[in-house]
Structure 1
Amino acid sequence: MSRRWLIGASGAVLLAAGCSKNDGGGDGSGSGGSDGSVGPEGYGGSDDSGGGSAPDGVLGGNFNEDPTGCGFTELEGVKASWLRGFVAIRDKEETGTTQDRAISTLLNASERGYGTILSLKLPHNDKPFPAPDSSGMDDLLAKVDKVLDTVMDKVNILVVGNEPFIESRKEDWNGPLGDFYEKVAEHVLAYRAEHSGKSSRTRIYMGALNHLDEPEWRGEGAERWMEFARKTDGIEGVDIHPHVSSMANAKQYLDFVVPRLGDGQKFLVTEFSLVQLWRQHMKDPIPRQFAERYKMSPDTKVWEAIKQAIDHPWSQRQWQDLLAMSPWYASHKHWLSTQVKQFRATGKLAVATYGVVQGAAMTKGFGPKKPPWLLNSLYASRTARPGDGSSTPAQSLGWYDDFRALQREQDKLPVNTGSVPT
């Protein structure tokens, strides 16, 4: 990991110029940026003047690890005041990659008054976790420190772990995973106490639980995760990633997490979507009405139509017509609004973030078996052309308008979440 951005990285290069498209592991985000006129003139997000309050029921944008396309123009378009991304900390150092850009983007957003969330991704899919007191753990924590040197007291929320159960071996779920992440979390809390003084602008959460609508993912490891978060001073809650096929399945996440939170704790939802529902319809034929209007074969499958739009982007009208004429999508076009209201109704939501633009990895090698993450994004930035000479990407059907409507007066820029005791 490069020292270049660790020593005085201001992040000014990316989001101001436009940060552009995402990784296929989740929802994505936004192309081109504005002049940064979103925040009040002279506002410095890292200057916490006191006051403020913990985030409550906020809906913001997400770019995962690649901020390409998620500029101020796109964020202003959907009225977002929060932005989330993650950085992967691996054994091999990576220099000049999206790691630099993800952190730079969030720091720049913070300087302009946005609320910011950074998740620490610690992938161990193909190897065991290092033992808590091993030299391997020491090496990894040294890499974590490099990130903390840059972001502590600048980002509003730091999440320990991205998707820990997905990013590990199944045989490690009920023991080594907990040992490892608890060690990392304790280290992060100790770092904050040592470097931030008596209070800090950065709140700490534990990373995202997945597939809680499936019994095996609600086992001993998940129970331990919740217990640690609940009993550890300084942890404010947990993150969840409900990528589901229905609202009922999303509710199973809430039924598991909310009763297990401690007093005053809340949950994050830094990724969520109906991607599992969309997957069920990729091999459906395109709607006959759509085929007739755009002179396409009625035998064309949905995934084939999407591939055509990726290869040669359609007009915004054609892209939206494909979705509007597909009952499996059109019947859920206000799902985003309904889902966020479900989260907020618990009274325990801190921040939810949603993918802003279609990412490059979402479109690479697109076929009938690839998860159609690109149907989730607020902007159809890779499947449709901007209309009428616009400099911003084409809008999605439903999500764009509903996201804007869900923004509240209390969440407007500049964001101030105050500080917490360390």
Structure 2
Amino acid sequence: MPELDTVRAARQPAISSLLSLAASGHGTVLSLKFPYQTQPLPRPGTSAMDAALNRVDKVLDAVLGTVDILVIGNEPFLETRDQDRATLLNPFYEAVAAHVITERERRRGGGRRTRLYMGALNHLEHPDWRTPAVDAWLAHVKATPEIEGVDIHPHVAAIEHASAYTEYVLPRIRAEQRFLATEFSLVQWWKQHWSDPVPAIYADQYGVARGTPVWQEVRDAAATPVTEQRWRDLLTHTTWFASRTRYLTNQVTRFRATGRLAVATYGTLQQPAMVRDLGPAKTPWLLNSLYTNLVVQPSADGRMAHNPAYFDAFRALQDGS
């Protein structure tokens, strides 16, 4: 959101991309990210709150009635200072939600086709993240008729941990409300094994020293992209990765089985931040992405290589299979 102080909303990269995709007939979801990790959230009724709502209005001018779903918040409990989560967080986001609801009604017309969700909740597999502030967040969602549900981001170490999200959230909102999963992955599982050695069969085949940690091999690939076959061999011979190749299918199946999934989306491209300062402490987000555009050489015709575990599953899920 702070980018909108210097960039027109319609030209802000995320908004511009979604508007273009919407014009092409794609479904679109836009989340409003309020980064307050280093400063207090504004209090309703203050000039700082007015400034935040002015940014919101700029977004609404650009997307209302075009974007299918607007998520009020991105990861509020991560993007807020620890000391503000129990005090300032809910009043701020409730004020933003009330403002968006009022503006959507005032503008009427096609703006009503943009559905509203609150988002997104993290780490609910850990009991200490199921706080009174989270309960208050869900109580607000439940009590506000114009809000259609809540977003969740289950980045977990095991598929069973994601069930903690739906089991906690769904009983606390209205029966007709639904949930989004605009981010989800097994990144915590990857992180547990990030320093494991590359498979011996891979090391011998490609002349890599046995015992080389996976993160180091990935770092080298990010510096000098490898062939698609070499990347595929690395992952398919790595037991902790290869044993999870049905994760995407299984996770979406579980989401759908609740009967209350609205939309699930999954990460597409590897981003530069994923390979910046890559080392043993780096969270391996790049292992999630459907395309391996930063670690694998493109084909002769420019085609980007695919994640060998999830790309085909992702395509199949588009058909409901």
Q: What is the TM-score with the length of structure 2 in the denominator? A: 0.96
- Determine the C-alpha separation between the residues in 2 that align with 1:185 and 1:144: 10
Match for 1:145 among 53, 57, 60? 57
- Determine the C-alpha separation between the residues in 2 that align with 1:143 and 1:339: 35
Q: By how many angstroms is 1:300 displaced?
A: 1.1
Partners of 2:122 and 2:154 within 8 A in 1: yes
- Are residues 97 and 383 of structure 1, via their aligned partners in 2, closer, same or farther at CA, if it must alter by over 3 Å? farther
- Determine the C-alpha separation between the residues in 1 that align with 2:110 and 2:175: 22
| Partner in structure 1 of residue 303 of structure 2 | 392
For residues 184-223 of structure 1, the C-alpha deviation after alignment (integer angstroms, 9 at most, x for no partner) is: 0000000100012487110000010000011121110110
Q: Which moved more, 1:129-138 or 1:348-357?
A: 129-138
| Partner in structure 1 of residue 220 of structure 2 | 308
- Are residues 211 and 363 of structure 1, via their aligned partners in 2, closer, same or farther at CA, if it must alter by over 3 Å? same
In the alignment, structure 1 residue 293 sits paired with structure 2 residue 201: no
In the alignment, structure 1 residue 176 sits paired with structure 2 residue 120: no
| Partner in structure 1 of residue 186 of structure 2 | 274
Partners of 2:65 and 2:111 within 8 A in 1: no
Q: By how many angstroms is 1:91 displaced?
A: 8.1
For residues 14-69 of structure 1, the C-alpha deviation after alignment (integer angstroms, 9 at most, x for no partner) is: xxxxxxxxxxxxxxxxxxxxxxxxxxxxxxxxxxxxxxxxxxxxxxxxxxxxxxxx
| Partner in structure 2 of residue 123 of structure 1 | 35
- Determine the C-alpha separation between the residues in 1 that align with 2:280 and 2:16: 35
Considering fraction of residues, name the structure with more helix. 2
Q: What is the TM-score with the length of structure 1 in the denominator? A: 0.74
For residues 121-146 of structure 1, the C-alpha deviation after alignment (integer angstroms, 9 at most, x for no partner) is: 01111111111111111111011101
For residues 334-378 of structure 1, the C-alpha deviation after alignment (integer angstroms, 9 at most, x for no partner) is: 111101101011001000100011011111111110100000000
Amino acid at match of 2:241: Y
In the alignment, structure 1 residue 259 sits paired with structure 2 residue 171: yes
For residues 79-104 of structure 1, the C-alpha deviation after alignment (integer angstroms, 9 at most, x for no partner) is: xxxxxxxxxx1288343899711111
Q: By how many angstroms is 1:253 displaced?
A: 0.8
Q: By how many angstroms is 1:406 displaced?
A: 0.8
1:11-22 aligned at under 5 Å gives the runs none
RMSD: 1.8
SS at match of 2:301: coil
| Partner in structure 2 of residue 230 of structure 1 | 142
For residues 253-290 of structure 1, the C-alpha deviation after alignment (integer angstroms, 9 at most, x for no partner) is: 11111111213110000001111010111111110000
- Are residues 201 and 148 of structure 1, via their aligned partners in 2, closer, same or farther at CA, if it must alter by over 3 Å? same
Amino acid at match of 2:302: S
Match for 1:366 among 264, 269, 278? 278
SS at match of 1:354: coil
1:177-256 aligned at under 5 Å gives the runs 177-197=89-109, 200-256=112-168
For residues 168-191 of structure 1, the C-alpha deviation after alignment (integer angstroms, 9 at most, x for no partner) is: 012211221000000000000001
Partners of 2:68 and 2:115 within 8 A in 1: yes
Runs of 4+ in 1 over 3 A off after TM superposition: 94-99
Amino acid at match of 2:303: T
- Determine the C-alpha separation between the residues in 2 that align with 1:187 and 1:98: 20
SS at match of 1:121: coil
- Determine the C-alpha separation between the residues in 1 that align with 2:157 and 2:97: 32
| Partner in structure 2 of residue 406 of structure 1 | 317
Gaps of 5+ in 1: 1-88, 411-422
Q: By how many angstroms is 1:407 displaced?
A: 1.1
- Are residues 192 and 92 of structure 1, via their aligned partners in 2, closer, same or farther at CA, if it must alter by over 3 Å? closer
Amino acid at match of 1:327: T
Aligned residues: 321
1:316-331 aligned at under 5 Å gives the runs 316-331=228-243
| Partner in structure 2 of residue 420 of structure 1 | none
Amino acid at match of 1:407: Q
- Determine the C-alpha separation between the residues in 2 that align with 1:371 and 1:281: 11
Partners of 1:91 and 1:140 within 8 A in 2: no
Amino acid at match of 1:397: P
Amino acid at match of 2:260: K
SS at match of 2:252: helix
SS at match of 2:39: coil
Gaps of 5+ in 2: none
Partners of 1:161 and 1:207 within 8 A in 2: yes
